[in-house]
Chain A
Amino acid sequence: MPKRKDLKKVMVIGSGPIIIGQAAEFDYSGSQACRALKEEGIEVVLVNSNPATIMTDQNMADRVYIEPLTVDAVATILKKERPDGLLPTLGGQTGLNLAIALAEAGYLKEFEIELLGTPLETIRQAEDRQTFKDLMDKIGEPVLNSRIAENITEAREIAAEIGFPVIIRPAFTMGGTGGGLVEDVEQLEEVAVRGFKHSLIGQILIEKSIKGWKEIEYEVMRDQNDNCIIVCNMENFDPVGVHTGDSIVIAPSQTLSDREYQMLRSASLKIIRALGIEGGCNVQFALNPASFQYYVIEVNPRVSRSSALASKATGYPIAKVSARIALGYSLDEIANAVTRKTTACFEPALDYVVFKIPRWPFDKFHSADRGLGTQMKATGEVMAIERTVEGAMLKAVRSLEIGINGLCLESLAALTEQEIEQKLAAVDDERLFIIAEALRRGKKVDEIQRLTGISSFFIHKIKQIVRYEQKISSDLTPEILSEAKQLGFADRELATLSGKPEDQIRELRNRLGIKPVYKMVDTCAAEFEAETPYYYSTYERTDESSVSEQAKVLVLGSGPIRIGQGIEFDYCSVHSAWSLREEGLESIIVNNNPETVSTDFDTSDRLYFEPLTKEDVLNIIEQEKPAGVVVQFGGQTAINLAKPLFDQGVKILGTPVEAIDLAEDRDKFVALLRQLKIPCPEGYSASEPKEAVAIAAKIGYPVLIRPSYVLGGRAMEVVYNRSELIQYMQAANRVNPGYPLLIDQYLEGMEIEVDAISDGEDVFIPGIMEHIERAGVHSGDSIAVYPARQLDPKLKKTLIDYTIKLARALRIEGMVNIQFVIAGGRVYVLEVNPRSSRTIPFLSKVTGVPMVKLATKAMLGRKLKDLGYRTGLLPEKTYQAVKVPVFSFSKLTEVDTGLGPEMKSTGEVMGIDNSYEKALYKGFVAAGINLPATGTILVTVADRDKEEVVNYIKEFTRLGFKIIATSGTATVLKAVGLPAEQVKKLSEGNPNIIDYLKENRINLVINTLNKGKKPASDGFKIRRYAVEMGVPCLTSLDTTRAVLNVLKSLKKGVPINCRALQDY
């Protein structure tokens, strides 16, 4: 069926901010869809609240709305734009839910908008457990039946019916506690009773246990002609029980015979047909490892994280094809973008192995529970391609950037046999390394399989690596070296194992001619000629990368998404590659994150899907011989490679490496500031606790402290007095000459952030942003406001002046990001980053300045003045924009939600409007903070904040809010005549604060941090319960003030409008 002629204008819904479970994959799918639609001549209307995305670029859609993803906002846009169709299946669960809500609210009917692709009925059917089960029963596909029990008798009956073992899960709990696997009636009674107690609604779910079964996924496509294909199947390393987002995944399946492969393939096709999905769909199965028995676990009637992975793993662009299907094309009418000779109606054949490992945030959240289960915890993922499982596994491990290059995790060496066994049985993020350690100690494969439930096939692969570790350690002969490289060992790991320096290994390799070759990802296992330059390395015979003669530049990507290094950097990498093309250069991207736009094979001229280590990047450089390397856009990952690459004679484009070094070296940097007469906070390092106490006394409390070397302990914190300092040092457990403590003056002032671009002469400043939260809250966790509102012309002039001075002194060519604090009317420099920062996409969008493009061109030697930009600040816009951080606390139990110097947010949203209050309101709404218009506020603040909070409470009371407070705060409030109901602390018996929260009697919490953020403290519990109950919890008085402003303006009833970026 050819393209439909009646569709002229289509809306695409994005997925909003990056949170755990919904990351950059939807920018990739959304951008692909927008491009596919535009290529078909469709006018595209795009709505997404996340500014750090390529899809919200003005060239991706004709009308771009960065607005909250709420029914109200999107309905307003629909009314204004009147698109013919709405494409709901590309924006993750957020997009899908929103589309359903819009349909249910009657807006689609009212504005005569057609839901494209998958019908609404299908979405409902797939999303609703019961209707889905009914449909599966009808077509004879087995699903696990989870049944609800409300008392022990019911539980006994259900379990007997299902048959032991069964899984018990309390319905609606705090962090999924209290469930478990039970083998018999006795265990059932114990666990069920506990479950009823833990459940907030007194219910438990009982289902058949499929523990230890293989988890297999299929990515399926279907068009309206009923043509169906499988793009890819995938096998999880972990058996059923770990969320697929937290699972190590291998594509294609490894341990399935053709019978099993085809059985599940046929089931997948049957399911997509029964559901009537038009586009992409993901089906997850549990397969009994000892029979043909299987269950359908889940179906996602939309593109997903897995489909992004499958697209990158195969070269088959699922989102693009889905968008075309929605326009009426059938699969065989869509060209295969890789071969250009065949169509999208085929099944990719892989001739390599793909290995995905999630990236978990446990390096940031030390107190978080590392156990993996049904709740996803990873923030991002890496993917590796190699010709062997071992090679792909090792590449993936070093792509993670967790400080290890192979399967040796040093900390495990100290564990006892018993601890190893315990760790094998409990699933956590380190299991790959634990299995390796167990094998190293001689544990048998079948024993490990019994303990972990992981297929012996994978354990044998790890064993092969361990076997070679031993060979390498004993004698690194040329033969062993060659075999080790074929198996995927990194030079760095070979160096550690053999006791030789890494450079020597590289030399030896080069001398022996042991070098990687690059193979192409072509969707067809070389059966057809392919034109798409998408490569991976392997140690084999024939290279096929056909390097061109053209001048080229390599852009280093930013690797997996983690807290502190998010999608913003992918946005920058993509724009840099595009700008290189614009300058007539060939662009080469190196990255390993399968979720992103940068690893879409048509973003750059050439894509190398490789780890971002010195060795892997150098190999590509030797192959491609680029004129230079861009390190400014790939976050810390890329910047960290500047020096090692430079030392090997690689040309780093832009800001000189010495300057990068200087900015990162504290002592040199302070010396530079002194020379430039730019003030900075006073700071020293202490080698022992006594010294630390003395330094803190000298500087004066509060002080900002952090270990110079973070080792599994806590990191940066603000302490307000001596006892807090001592407490910190005791917890850190290690302050000695080897690990000094850095102590800085903590300036409690307004934080300012400036991004600038320099060509070495001119220093152009697109904008100055002010943070709502005072210094002390990590800049990534603060609300940023553009343009800054509280700066007088003199301060602004100083900021501009310092920025220009610093950029010139550091000989910046490209981007620079500077963080300032203004305290006592003075401007201090906190930090200079000689690279692009996380505010670049936001600032680019609100100012309209193509910042990455300018920076890239400046690096190539183009002059800003020739590009139309001069030294100084761009005239500030008349509208207001805010960047609001978004957290994933509900996914991470045991993590304190209080804000501090350590970054905790996973994503961001933008609010933009004519007035500050409206922009802020949009920002809060988009971030999912449900600001109550009326209700009850719980106030419990640290002593130092009590005086300040009084002013805000006064105003909240005036707005009609009821105030509840704990004794200390209540006393202060009562003293100034504010009515406050006193509530018991946890230690004071019931009903206490937590009971109030549980009973949903609180609408907003204001809680500032006391010392010692131990999970046991009252404050911690209040904050956690607020998260679990979905009650907004403000941990900073600055945020409180901002919220107050918004509520005040809402009271006045100002109408909120939505406006496309094109109209600002």
Chain B
Amino acid sequence: MRRSRLILEDGTVYDGIGFGAGKESGGEIVFNTSMTGYQEILTDPSYKGEIVVMTYPTIGNYGINFDDEQSGTAQVNGFVVRELCNNPENWRSRLELEAYLHKNDIVGIAGVDTRALTKKLRKNGTMRGLISSEGSGTAQLSLKARKLPALSEQDLVREVTTQKPYQTGKAEGMRIVLIDCGAKKNIVKSLVRRKCQVIVVPAFTDAGAIMSYQPDGIMISNGPGDPGAVPYVVETVKELLGQRPIFGICLGHQILGLACGAATYKLKFGHRGANHPVRDLRSGRVYITSQNHGYAIREDSLAGLELEVTHLNVNDRTVEGLRHKKYPAFSVQYHPEAAPGPRDSHYLFDHFISLIA
């Protein structure tokens, strides 16, 4: 048992038990309210740069399997739980959570009053913090936390995007180029399941190179950090707009917005969970969505643009979906590919494909 601490930039200290990697690690602290899906969360590249707090108090119950990873490795900068379960039970479990974090060099801390921490983040907004098992003084560590780079100052997409293009799916299927800003595997799977050929390209691929694949449609994936930190993807999308149907998810949605002239802003503590209600403004129907974002499209920046708001968050009325008025391009702030979370919005992939056909 290794004592460890979580130190916030304001000096608050949470004592706990370290698990996983023994190193010190910092990042923006965010909370996720999903009750299942910790493996998908750990491996979602959108969490790059962030320390994730799970609000559900016992984590690790069903272990780690080989199928549910959303990328090749665990991506979070740190993992905070109330209780770590070391006796998982599930037929697909191959590894305990603790061993998995070890293997992937991720720092975890257990025994934290995660509810108190969540309330703090809700009240004060997202904060930076450090997980450390070193004996250094609190003041010193919180200073260190304050000096951590802000998300907006980092190009995290470059860290998680594929370095080389690759393709998957049936060659004879519809060809989709996926701009990988940190794409979750289930986006690719959702396309492949619909008999698409998917060409995954690095986020820094330019429009010309993308068009050279002669795609039938283009997707912009989810990804970490501030959309303002990836102007090069925004430029690419600007050029692609109107050429082929485009579908953006999460960061991809923000990028589509920016490419059309909208502005983004940082939410106080973001939306991370599997229970966010979103209203489709055209049908009036509400869908329960899976979400993971700290930034959002500024609704008042849309005036006079060629963009129409198609979806709104029922809780805080933030923009959850956009549609281009002229071109076949649309995007959603949430995760239709689920994993983790409800599968209610899988139909958006069908919608995308219908735009192509």
Residues in chain A within 8 A of chain B (CB atoms): 225-227, 229-230, 252-262, 265-266, 269, 289-291, 330-332, 341-343, 345-353, 387-389, 445, 455-457, 460, 519, 524-529, 540-542, 544
Listed by A's residue number, 20 A-B pairs whose Cβ atoms lie within 8 Å are A254-B58, A256-B36, A258-B39, A258-B339, A258-B340, A262-B343, A332-B314, A347-B275, A349-B35, A350-B35, A351-B33, A351-B57, A387-B57, A389-B58, A445-B87, A525-B118, A527-B33, A540-B113, A541-B113, A541-B116
Q: Is B355's beta carbon under 8 Å from chain A?
A: no
Among B135-143, B175-183, B204-212, B283-291, the one that faces the other chain is B283-291
Q: What are the 6 closest A-B residue pairs judged by CB atoms, nearest first?
A: A258-B37, A542-B116, A460-B87, A541-B113, A525-B55, A457-B89
B40 on the interface (CB 8 Å rule)?
yes
Cβ distance B109 to chain A, nearest Cβ, rounded Å: 14
- The reply to whether B61 and A254 form a contact with Cβ atoms under 8 Å apart is yes
Query: What's the Cα separation between A228 and B89 when bound, in Å?
Result: 30
Q: Are the C-beta atoms of B91 and A528 separated by less than 8 Å?
A: no
Contact partner, A351, options B40, B55, B279, Cβ 8 Å: B55
B90 within 8 A of A: yes
Contact of A256 with B62 in the complex, beta carbons under 8 Å? yes
A352 and B83 CA atoms in complex are apart in Å by 11
Residue of B nearest to A387 (CB): B57
Q: Does B253 contact A (CB under 8 A)?
A: no
Determine the distance from Cα of A291 to Cα of B82 in the docked complex, in whole angstroms: 29
Chain B 61-80 residues near chain A, CB threshold 8 A: 61-62, 65, 67-68
Contacts of A540 on B, CB cut-off 8 Å? 113, 115-116
A257:B314 contact, CB within 8 angstroms: no
Q: Does chain A have a CB within 8 A of B338?
A: yes
A347 touches B36 (CB 8 A): no
A259 to chain B: which residues have CB within 8 Å? Answer: 67-68
Taken together as a complex, chains A and B put the C-alpha atoms of A258 and B57 apart, in Å, by 16
Whole-angstrom distance between the alpha carbons of A227 and B285 in the complex? 6
Q: A262-B341, A460-B87, A527-B118 are in contact. Are A252 and B35 (CB under 8 A)?
A: yes
User: Is B285 a contact partner of A347 (Cβ separation < 8 A)?
Assistant: no
A257 with B36: CB separation less than 8 A: yes
CB-based contact A258/B34 at 8 Å: yes
Whole-angstrom distance from the CB of B53 to the nearest CB of chain A? Answer: 10
Given contacts A346-B288, A388-B82, 12 further A-B contacts (CB under 8 A): A225-B284, A227-B286, A255-B88, A258-B36, A261-B36, A266-B342, A266-B343, A351-B56, A351-B115, A525-B33, A542-B116, A542-B119
The complex places the Cα of A255 from the Cα of B93 at a distance, in Å, of 10
Verify if B124 is at the interface (C-beta below 8 Å from A). no
Docked complex Cα distance between A290 and B56 (Å): 25
A-B contact count (CB 8 A): 166
B200-253 contacts to A, CB under 8 A, are none
Q: How far apart are B283's CB and chain A's nearest CB, in angstroms?
A: 9
Residues in B whose Cβ lies below 8 Å from that of A290: 91
B55 touches A331 (CB 8 A): no
> How far is it, in angstroms, between the C-alpha of A988 and the C-alpha of B163 when the chains are bound?
92
Q: Is the CB of B342 within 8 A of A265?
A: yes
Residue from B62, B91, B273, B344 within 8 A of A349 (CB atoms): B273
A1000 to B39, CA, bound (A): 61
Assess whether B354 is interfacial by the CB under 8 Å rule: no
Measured between beta carbons, the chain B residues less than 8 angstroms from A347 are 274-275, 288, 342
Could you tell me the distance between the alpha carbons of A542 and B340 in the complex, rounded to whole angstroms? 29
- Chain B residues contacting A256 (CB-CB under 8 Å) are 36, 62, 90
Distance (Å) between the CB of B157 and the closest chain A CB? 25
Residue pair A542, B286 in contact (C-beta under 8 Å): no
CA distance A261 to B14 in the complex (A): 31
Q: CB-nearest residue of chain B relative to A388?
A: B83
* B7 → chain A closest CB, angstroms: 15
| Residue on B nearest A455 in the bound complex, by CB | B89
Q: How far is the CA of A266 from the CA of B343 in the complex (A)?
A: 7
Q: C-beta contact mask, B93-122 vs A, less than 8 Å → 1, else 0?
A: 000000000000000000001111011001
A342 to B278, CA, bound (A): 12
Closest B residue by C-beta to A257: B62
Q: Give B1-53 interface residues, CB cut-off 8 Å to A.
A: 14, 31, 33-37, 39-40
The reply to whether B34 and A349 contact each other, CB–CB distance below 8 Å, is yes
CB pair B34 A353 closer than 8 Å: no
Q: Which of B114, B116, B341, B344 contacts A269 (CB 8 A)?
A: B344
**Residues of the A chain whose Cβ atoms lie less than 8 Å from the Cβ of B325:** none
Q: Is the CB of B57 within 8 A of A255?
A: no
Are A257's CB and B277's CB within 8 A? Answer: no
Q: A348–B285 contact, CB under 8 A?
A: no
Min CB distance A1024 to B, Å, is 42
Q: What residues on A are CB-neighbors of B114 within 8 Å?
A: 351
A262 to B68 Cα, complex, angstroms: 13
* Complex partner residue of B58 from A260, A353, A541, CB under 8 angstroms: A353
Question: Given A349-B34, A387-B83, are A291 and B314 also a contact pair (CB < 8 Å)?
Answer: no
- B273 x A527 contact (CB < 8 A): yes
Contact B118 A262 (CB under 8 A): no
Q: Tell me if A257 and B315 are in contact (CB < 8 A).
A: no
Closest chain A CB from B205 CB (angstroms): 31
Complex contacts, A541 vs chain B, CB 8 Å: 14, 113, 116
Taken together as a complex, chains A and B put the C-alpha atoms of A184 and B274 apart, in Å, by 45
Cβ of B92 < 8 Å from any Cβ of A? yes
> Is B315 in contact with A258, judged by CB distance below 8 angstroms?
no
- B323 contacts the other chain (CB 8 A): no
Taken together as a complex, chains A and B put the C-alpha atoms of A742 and B58 apart, in Å, by 52
Pair B88/A457 contact, Cβ less than 8 Å: yes
Q: Within the complex, what minimum Cβ distance (angstroms) separates B57 from chain A? A: 5
Contacting residues, chain A, for B275 (C-beta < 8 A): 346-349, 524
Asked if B314 contacts A526 (CB within 8 A), the reply is no
Once the chains bind, are B314 and A345 in contact (CB under 8 Å)?
yes
> Are the C-beta atoms of B68 and A346 separated by less than 8 Å?
no
Contacts of B83 in A (CB 8 A): 387-388
How many Å from the CB of A450 to the closest CB on chain B?
13
Q: Which residue of B lies closest to A251 (CB)?
A: B35
- B293 an interface residue at 8 Å Cβ cutoff? no
> Is the Cβ of B288 less than 8 Å from the Cβ of A542?
no
